[in-house]
Every structure is written in structure tokens, then in C-alpha cells.
Structure 1
Amino acid sequence: MTQRAIPEQALIVLLGIDGAGKSTAAKEVEKLLHGTPVLVLGNYSGRKTILALAQRFKVPLPVHVSDVLETAVRVFNVLLNHRRAARFGGVVIMDRHLYCQLALRKARGIRRSRALSTLLRLLPQAQAVVYFDITAEQAHERITLRGEDQENLGDLEKFRMGYAGLPWYPGFILLDAGTGIQSSAAQLKQVIASVTARAEALAPAATHGQ
């Protein structure tokens, strides 16, 4: 008897500046993928928490020190979440990844870490790396409206350029994130459908004769 493959097995990574709508779109797409097991994992750096603690205790936080702390938190979360992903049999959506820290480093004028780049190559590769493309102005407007964060418009633009300057950027799938969360979620669903369709097409060769 031929064993049916699970075409929905996939690893999708979401990237983009703050305010691009990555986290919200990831939650929305869960509702759109009816009957498909989905696991959303956040590879956060703890940047906001680190900054808040530094301000609370009035501790100066040089940019290089901040980067070291954020990188440690990000790497821990990425490794932990890849371990979780390996045990899951459906669509894994990773909100942020090591690319984000590398883009932040470019934005801050810090030399790219060879260790991070090497780790990125060694980790399981995503079937799709999706970049939520949005202008710094649109992202800043969204951040201002939700009233939870304080992001500088200039820093958002530098972060955006940091992503564009990554060597992996040409291979990213660009998603138009400026047209609203529902549109972003619908576009993300299409990306996932394309990935799972490719997996399904390859399944007969892998399961033939079983």
C-alpha cells in the first residue's frame, strides 16, 4: 500500500522591520489553513526587555553591549525553536530568525558576525524565507497607532536597508506588507500553498513502492 506523504510539512521564516505585521499575519494565516497543523514560533531577541531593564536601573547600554545581549537571546531561541520544529509534522512558521540580528548589525554599523552566518548555514534550511516589505513610514505609523513601542523613523529605515544589504536578500520572497494584515495573511497563505504543493509533487518519488 502506498503511504500518503504529508505535503503540509514545511518551514517558513518571516522577516521584516518592526511594524511590518509579521506576528499578526502569522496568527491570521493559522485561521486560513483549515485542517493543516500549524506551529508558530517566535525567535525574539529580547531587545525591548533589555532596553527597558537598562532604563529602569539607569545602566548605560552601548550599542555593542546591546548587540551581544540580543544575539545571545536570539541564538538561544532559534536553536530551541529548531528543536521544537523537528518534532512537529505540519507547517512551522518562524517569526524572525538570525537574519534579523544580522540586519540589525548592518543598521547599527556593526561588522557582520561570521559565527552567526556559519550557524545560519548549518541550521535546517527553510523552504521559504518571506520578507514583509513595507516602507519605514508605514511601519512607523502602525507602531505609533498601537502605542506599545517607541521606534525612531530613521532607525526603521536603517533596519530596512540592513535587510536589503544582506547577501541572502535576493533569495527572499518579497511580500507586499503595506496593504493590510488580511492581505499579508492571504499572500503568506499562497506562499505556504506553493511550498506544500512542491512537497506533494515530490512525494510519489519518495513513497513509491512502500
Structure 2
Amino acid sequence: MHNKFIVLEGLEGAGKTTAKDTIVKILHAHGVSDIVFTREPGGTPLAEELRTLIKQSANVDPPTDKAEVLMLYAARVQLVEKVIKPALDRGAWVLGDRHDLSSQAYQGGGRGIDPRLMASLRDSVLGSFRPDLTLYLDILPQQGLERVGLRGELDRIEQGSLAFFERTRARYLQLVAADNRIKTIDASQSVQQVSESIKTILNEWLSKQDNII
């Protein structure tokens, strides 16, 4: 089986951390042991600095919407070129906590930046580079925010309004419907049910990869 780039997506509180653990167990069961983990924004020294600016600068000099999206893409291209592509080139699998779909949904939907500009920026920066599989954990914003509230202090993005997250989810759903490389999982279910859904989808997808010559 050729190595792949798999990404987890979803709103705050969707349960990406638990889903990641499930995915790792499934990959191990399929004989995949060399896995590189990434998160966005972040994953390189430069990208981590940008992550801090994006998420923690609310009381200092909060970025404008367009400055925010440009910082996200600067962090993303640094991660792709310095970590993700080299890992794939040497044969490792990559499991990402967020990738470009997040920007298309959060900035293109939540912030209301023109989707055509978002698509153009993606194509200019990333070219044809895309994840092989994206698992989108779908949850109603209210439920997700309630979960996040139990974790303690919120960062600048998590402090967004309910309307912001509703717009973000609506854009997620539009993008998911248009791309068969993205699989949706109902994240409002119990942890066990979500894990079972992931197992079903991922095992089926991996079985198909086994048959590709």
C-alpha cells in the first residue's frame, strides 16, 4: 500500500484528538507504523510562531481577516514544503490535524472572505497538492462550543460568535458535498459510535488502497 496523507477536520469540540487515536490504531492494524503527525497552523518553528500570532493576539494586535488568512497560508506552505512533502517522499504516512479545508471553511465561510479568492490563494500556494483522504467530523456549533467550554480558557478563534461557527459549518458542508475525497462522520454521537464510524470508513478506504496496483 502506498503512503498517504490523511487529514482530520471539524469545528471546535468535534473530537479530533480522540478520532486521531482511533485512526492510528487502524493504521497500525493495517501494518502502517511510520506516521508523521502534523497540526495546522503549526508544525515548524516559523509556523508555530504564526500559530501564536493567529490564536493568541486578541488583546495585542488582532489580525484583520485578510491578514489572518495570509498568515495561515504562510504557515501552511512552510509545513507542506518542510515537513509533509519530505515525509511522503521518504515513504511515511502523514496524519494531519487540519489542512486547507479549515481555511476554506473558517475564513471563506466564517470570516466571509470571497470563496473565489480563497480558492485562488489555495491553488497559487499549494498547486495541485491535496490530502488523499479527509475525515470531516460534523457537529452542530452549539454542541461543539459547549464541549470546548469545558476545557477552560478559549483562544481567539474559539471565542468566535455562534453565528461565525454556523457560517463555518455551512461552508464545510458545501465543500464536503463537492469532494468525494472527504468523508463525513456524525460527531454528535458518543465517542464509541464515532470511533465505530471512523473504523468503518477508514477500513473500507484502506481496503481499496490495497487493491490499487
TM-score normalized by the length of structure 1: 0.76
Give yes or no for contact 1:104–1:159 (8 Å, CA) kept in 2. Answer: yes
Structure-1 residue corresponding to 2:145: 140
Give yes or no for contact 2:106–2:168 (8 Å, CA) kept in 1. Answer: yes
Structure 2 unaligned residues grouped into runs of 5+: 43-47
Alignment of 1:46-195 (within 5 A): 49-51=52-54, 53-55=56-58, 58-87=60-89, 89=91, 91-106=93-108, 107-111=110-114, 112-113=117-118, 114-123=120-129, 125-149=130-154, 150-151=158-159, 152-166=161-175, 169-171=178-180, 172-195=182-205
One-letter amino acid matched to 2:162: L
Structure 1 unaligned residues grouped into runs of 5+: 1-6, 204-210
Q: CA RMSD in A?
A: 2.8
**Aligned partners of 1:185, 1:88: CA distance in 2, in Å?**
30
Q: What percentage of aligned pairs have identical amino acids?
A: 25
Instruction: Note if 1:12 corresponds to 2:6.
Output: yes
**Aligned partners of 1:76, 1:186: CA distance in 2, in Å?**
34
Shift of 1:132: 0.9
Shift of 1:148: 3.8
Equivalent pairs, count: 195
Give yes or no for contact 1:42–1:96 (8 Å, CA) kept in 2. Answer: yes
**Aligned partners of 2:152, 2:190: CA distance in 1, in Å?**
18
> Larger Rg: 1 or 2?
1
Instruction: Please give the secondary structure, in 2, of the residue aligned with 1:93.
Output: strand
**Aligned partners of 1:186, 1:145: CA distance in 2, in Å?**
25
Shift of 1:140: 0.8
TM-score normalized by the length of structure 2: 0.75
Query: Of the two structures, which has the highest relative contact order with CA contacts closer than 8 Å and spacing of 6 or more?
Result: 1
Give yes or no for contact 1:12–1:192 (8 Å, CA) kept in 2. Answer: no
Alignment of 1:24-35 (within 5 A): 24-32=18-26, 33-34=28-29, 35=31
